[in-house]
Amino acid sequence: MDIVQRSLQESFGELRSTKSKEEQARDEFVEQKTEASELRALQVIERKKVEKKEAERKELLRATKGQEAAYQKLLTAKRRDAASIRSQLFLLQGSPDIPFEKAVELAERASKKTGVRVAFILGIIAQESELGKNIGQCNLPNDPPRYKWQAIMKPGRDQKPYLEITSKLRLDPNLMPLSCPLSVGWGGAMGPAQFIPSTWLTLENRIASATGHTPPNPWNPEDAFMASAIFLSDLGASSPAREREAAARYFAGGNWKSRLGTTYANQVLAKVETYQNQIDIIKSVAVR
């Protein structure tokens, strides 16, 4: 009997080991597929940016009949139109869009608390909102069950935190806009900064202390900007020299050196340059 029992125990042990290896292989496969999907979403953003810049260049050239000097003059005038910059909308994911000047104000508050550059905060928020819109939205009022939070969020990681967050805020968990999953993996990112619920909870007390909102709301732009700045500061972004690495880590975590992290960081820094120019224009006009 002892021999039989030992043999059975060894067999069960081998089965458990095999099952564990299969689960690990499956998780690795899902992670690879998710990364590929996210990279495709980033590529869509990059293509749209290139197409937009080319369309603007052609329009300016058409307006000036191809004269390079006139083109440069018109381009300079456009960049210096501070009133237009102030009034343009800063597009957000999961909450109403706000004027660019308001976005700068929120980023300045977050910068004072964390030391992260204003334009860098704007670049991250803009990238997250743009990526979220390319991935899509879920958990909308008329969505079928497969697009609701119970189906799109990782059960053991985010569902309980999500219910905790919405309960504190007295929000209906079935009505709050969330990011959809990619072709594989999980969705459920919340608000302009696109935080998953489990990560948001780890920052909640610090966000509340910085904004005075208890509890903080991931769909509130002020709280979202502050959350991003706090997280970026933790990643080292209070040093401008480390902004590229911080941006890559913000999106890809430990895989920040991968193509996915590099692509994301490049797109963020391109936005940062644009926003820094616009901030400088607004400030130069204000000084006058």
CB of 126 within 8 A of CB of 90? yes
Overall residue count recorded for the chain in this entry: 288
Arithmetic mean of pLDDT over the chain: 82
pLDDT at position 134 over 60 = no
- Residues in CB range of 12: below 8 A, 6 or more apart: none
Residue 65 pLDDT greater than 70, yes or no: no
pLDDT at 101: 85
Query: In the chain, what are the domain boundaries?
Result: 34-134+204-287
Amino acid 14: pLDDT: 58
What pLDDT does residue 135 have?
A: 47
Q: Which residue has the higher pLDDT, 225 or 95?
A: 225
Task: Select, from the ranges 18-22, 78-82, 237-241, the one with the highest average predicted confidence (pLDDT).
Answer: 237-241
Q: Which of 44-58, 59-73, 239-253 has the lowest mean pLDDT?
A: 59-73
Site of tokens 């390319």: 134
Average pLDDT on 226-243 reads 95
Position 165 scores a pLDDT of 98
Does residue 231 have a pLDDT over 60?
Answer: yes
Lowest mean pLDDT among 69-83, 120-134, 266-280: 69-83
Overall CATH class of domain 34-134+204-287: mainly alpha
Region 81-103: what's the mean pLDDT?
A: 70
Average pLDDT value for residue range 164-168: 98
How far is residue 51 CA from its own chain's centroid?
Answer: 22
For residues 166 and 151, what is the distance between their CA atoms, to the nearest angstrom?
Answer: 17
Peptide bond between residue 215 and the one before it cis (omega within 30 degrees of 0): yes
Three-state DSSP state, 81: coil
Maximum C-alpha span of the chain: 96
* Number of neighbours of residue 250 by Cβ within 10 angstroms: 23
Amino acid letter for position 92: L
Contact assessment for residue 77 and residue 66, using Cβ atoms and an 8 Å cutoff: no
How far are the Cα atoms of 103, 192, 243 from residue 226, in angstroms, in the given order? 12, 11, 17
pLDDT in tens, 169-186: 999 999 999 999 876 689
Mean pLDDT of 152-158: 96
Distance of CA 124 to the CA centre of its chain: 6
For residue 76, what pLDDT band results from cuts at 50, 70 and 90? low
N- to C-terminal Cα distance for the chain? Answer: 94
Q: At 207, is the pLDDT very low, low, confident or very high (cuts 50, 70, 90)?
A: very high
Position 8 scores a pLDDT of 47
Residue pLDDT, tens place only, 140-149 = 999 999 999 9
pLDDT at 19: 55
In this structure, the number of other CB atoms found within 10 A of the CB of residue 2 comes to 6
Distances (CA, A) of 72 to 62, 68, 82, 215: 13, 6, 18, 49
Q: What is the pLDDT of residue 51?
A: 81
The secondary structure of 108-162 as a DSSP string is HHHHHHH---HHHHHHHHHHHHHHHHHH-EE--TT--GGGSHHHHS-IIIIIHHH
Q: How far apart are CA 116 and CA 84, in angstroms?
A: 26
The whole-angstrom separation of Cα 210 and Cα 114 is 9
Q: State the DSSP code for 67.
A: -
Statement: residue 114 has pLDDT above 70: yes
248 has a pLDDT exceeding 50? yes
